[in-house]
Amino acid sequence: MSTRSSRWTKYRPVIALSILSMLVCGLAYPLLITGIAQAALPYQADGSQARLGGRAVGSYYIDNGFTLPGFFHGRNETNPLTASASGVDPDITVAEALSQVPRISNATGIARSSLVALVTSHEHWTLWVTGTPYVNVLELNLALIAAYPSSYPGYA
Amino acid sequence: MIDAIQSLIVVAILASTLISGSLLAPYVVRVLTGTPTRLDRLLDPFESAVYRLIGADPKMTMGWREYLFAVIFLNVAQMAIAFAILVGQGVLPLNPQGFPGLSWDLAFNTVVSFGTNTNLQHYAGETALSYFSQMTAIQFLQFTSAATGVCVMVAMVRGLRPGSAHLGNFYVDFVRVLTRILLPLCAVAALVLVALGVPQTIGGYVTVKTVEGATQELLVGPVASLVSIMQIGTNGGGYFGANSAYPFQNPTPVTDVLEIYLMLLLPTTLIFTFGELIGKKKETRPILIGSYGLLAIDLAVAFLGSIPAVGPGIETRFGGFFSTLWTVITTASTTGSLNASLAGINPLGILSAYMGMLVQATPGGIGVGVMYMLMYVVITVFVVGLMTGRTPEYLGAKITARDVKLVMVAFLVHPIAILVPTLAAFATKAVDAIPGFSSLPTSVAFTQVLYEFTSSAANNGSDFLGAAANTPFFNFATAVVMFVGRFVPIAILLALAGSMIGRKRVAEQSLRTDGAAFSFVLIGSILLLVVLTFLPFLILGPLLAYFQGLVNFVG
């Protein structure tokens, strides 16, 4: 009996602190952060969802998987050798976007110059100063639908 | 090569971590020495309740053996809890995707990986772990292993400090590091990350119809709370298999820079605490110049080659520059998170990544980076003593033959833990179980397996193989390497610190260790030691690939 209680005295800090640290770091902390984030920043906390005609159509940060000829396409569908690290990269370079302009123009009848202007006005730079200029594919296509609703019947 | 703007970005990031580190250090010193702070009124009652609940006397002090056993027991007990959670997640709550429990060998690998601050991942979190597991197994061990790193560092420093009588109380150190440093910092960082676009929810994956009408699942979860401790605690294990390349973990270039900064923040802060903790402020200098000097060399090597263009393995929003920068910093701080696929980085970038993991002190993992740098300091003091014919001394204490033997063993643990299993993996043909491995060029294949064990031994966790290495051989071999690579050097360095207690100190050392000259000798001897040990292996891997003209490591 006495050895059992002395053993418990010896191991109690280790066992009790293991459980307690799990409850604090593994449950209390992430749940508290979740609560604050959901209350104060619900849009970001739920994945920065894009909306079209009132319904959620995806996240601005995740490739939306466009395949129709009338839309700009992401880089993740075509060929695994050109794939991004995440496989859901939502962006393409401006050069890649411009190379798709003729196809989109042919499919929708929108003038090439207008499409080029749209791409340019949605250009992002890494930290505004460096890297290869790029566009967010979902943002660009939603702008396309908004600017030319008659070319995209049934979407807006 | 990088242009002027990119060079400025690198300098600005390093300058801001150095400035933040020096500003944060006085507070961290107060926490580690028990000096009163304004937070006491809030936290003292909570901490006293914790000590009563766990039955630990906060006034008790420990020798090195007691401290070490408490560290190992607590870490193993925490791994056991996480193991039970991972194996049993199928019947545990907060599992909206209904993921089954992990296999025994994968769960074993995972808890050792996170319990040793390594975060090597042989699974993809988004398709394998429930919310409950991500929080109570992964985030839990990320906090405790980071806290452990700070504790063992401060214990070692207490032993080295002239006039000290003990290494402190592990339980008190552990609780205070969590409540006063890691939890508050991570809470702030997590909320900033949410504001910048990182999700934080336990509501389950969101199913949407895309613009074109296809069904898509948005893999949201408690991501921000994990990313903050993963970076601040130099853990590196991501919520997603693609780690910080996955946009929900790192949505924009702004979060990318913030996450790079967070990796360096506490390792740099702890360097600045060293002089204060040891009682000789100038002794911070060799540690700081040594670690940041070597980091500058790593960056120069990585940016010497051509930077990869946006292409295979590189995310568009980061480009080749930020992908290479992240790879260097994540290995130099032994964090191991990634914002690109390693296969997309050029061979000189991979060589630089190896240097970070082989030195482990540029600035290295949280706490342990300073310990490794102190190990190199003792070796350098000894070598300089031999060359000048003087008695080697550090912090006023004579460095004895036993001390030198201890640090040499601590140093040699690393090459043995890397090279023996690498050769075993090839000799036993265990590598053949990796899908697609046989079709890789030899230099690439060798680089990937050597990297797996280097990353494990350095408790880094970045890897080429990922879930492809979820085989019984790699799960058990890397788990053993991670455990040995973590706790054997910690044990030896605590033993060294313990043996310094009560040792006679001289007021004036014959060789000064706090000057610039010693710092440069330190950098030289670290490079010499590491290069001599690993050069043949680096030649067979990344250097051969470089001279074969491989642009990156896509096989």
pLDDT at residue B312 is higher than 90: no
Number of domains chain B contains: 1
Provide the domain limits for residue B373: 367-547
Residues of chain B with Cβ-Cβ distance to A33 below 8 Å are: 187, 190-191, 194, 200, 222, 224-225
Instruction: Please check whether residue B389 lies inside any domain of the structure.
Output: yes
* Residue to test with chain A: of B201, B219, B310, most A Cβ within 10 A: B310
Of the given ranges (B14-18, B186-190, B551-555), which has the lowest mean pLDDT?
Answer: B551-555
* pLDDT at residue B555, as a whole number: 44
Give the CA distances from residue A63 to residues A115, A139, B203, B224, in Å, rounded to whole numbers and listed in that order. Answer: 20, 11, 21, 20
Long-range CB pairs of B275-283, under 8 A, 24+ apart, other chains included: B276/B25, B276/B26, B276/B29, B277/B29, B277/B32, B277/B33, B277/B154, B277/B157, B277/B158, B277/B161, B278/B157, B278/B160, B278/B161, B278/B395, B279/B161, B279/B162, B280/B395, B280/B514, B282/B514, B283/B395, B283/B513, B283/B514
Residue B253 contacts A, CB cutoff 8 Å: yes
Cβ-based neighbours of B524, under 8 Å, separated by 6 or more? none
**pLDDT for the residue numbered B221:** 97
A81 touches chain B (CB under 8 A): yes
- Note whether B54 contacts A17, CB cutoff 8 Å: yes
Residue B483 placed within a domain: yes
Q: Is the pLDDT of residue A16 over 50?
A: yes
User: What are B368's two structure tokens?
Assistant: 């342990």
Task: For chain B, say whether A65 makes contact (Cβ under 8 Å).
Answer: yes
pLDDT classification of B438: cutoffs 50, 70, 90 = confident
**Residue B554 in this model has a pLDDT that exceeds 80:** no
Across residues A16-44, what is the average pLDDT?
Answer: 98
pLDDT digits (tens, 9 = 90+) for B485-542: 999 999 999 999 999 999 999 888 888 999 999 999 999 999 999 988 999 999 998 8
- Residue B409 inside a domain? The answer is yes
d(CA B527, CA B129) in angstroms, rounded, equals 40
Using the Cβ of A138 and the Cβ atoms of chain B, whether some distance falls under 8 Å is answered with yes
- Asked if residue B354 is part of any domain, the answer here is no
Q: B31 and B266 in contact (C-beta within 8 Å)?
A: no
Q: ∠ CA B482-B486-B488 to the nearest 5 degrees?
A: 115
A150 and chain B in contact, CB less than 8 A? no
Closest CA in chain B for residue A125: B317
Check whether B63 has a pLDDT greater than 50: yes
In chain B, the residue whose alpha carbon lies closest to the alpha carbon of A8 is B55
Q: Helix axis angle, B401-427 relative to B368-388, nearest 10°?
A: 120
**What sign does the CA torsion over B19, B24, B26, B32 have?**
negative
- Chain A nearest C-alpha distance from B79 (Å): 9
**B140, B216, B220 member nearest A26 (Cβ):** B140
E strand map for B319-449: 393-394, 397-398
CA–CA dist B45, B50 (Å, integer): 9
A58 touches chain B (CB under 8 A): yes
| Confidence grade of residue B306 (pLDDT, cut at 50, 70, 90) | confident
- Residue-range domain boundaries for chain A: 2-43, 48-151
Which residue is listed with tokens 């389950």?
B204
B377 vs B440, higher pLDDT: B377
Nearest to B477 by CA among B142, B124, B112, B123: B112
- Is B444 a member of any domain? yes
Give, as one character, the DSSP assignment of residue B218: E
Give how far A84 is from chain B: nearest CA, Å.
5
| Chain A residues with CB-CB distance to B321 below 8 A | 126, 130-131
- Chain B CB contacts of A28 under 8 Å are none
Give the minimum alpha-carbon distance from B256 to chain A in angstroms, rounded to a whole number. Answer: 10
Domain assignment present for residue B507? The answer is yes
Q: Is the pLDDT of residue A4 over 90?
A: no
What's the pLDDT score for residue B503?
A: 92
Q: Is residue B527 part of a domain?
A: yes
Read off the pLDDT band of B441 (50, 70, 90).
Answer: confident
To the nearest whole angstrom, how far is the Cα of A139 from the nearest Cα of chain B? 11
Tokens of B424: 């075993």
pLDDT tens digits, one per residue of B354-396: 999 999 999 999 999 999 999 999 999 999 999 999 889 999 9
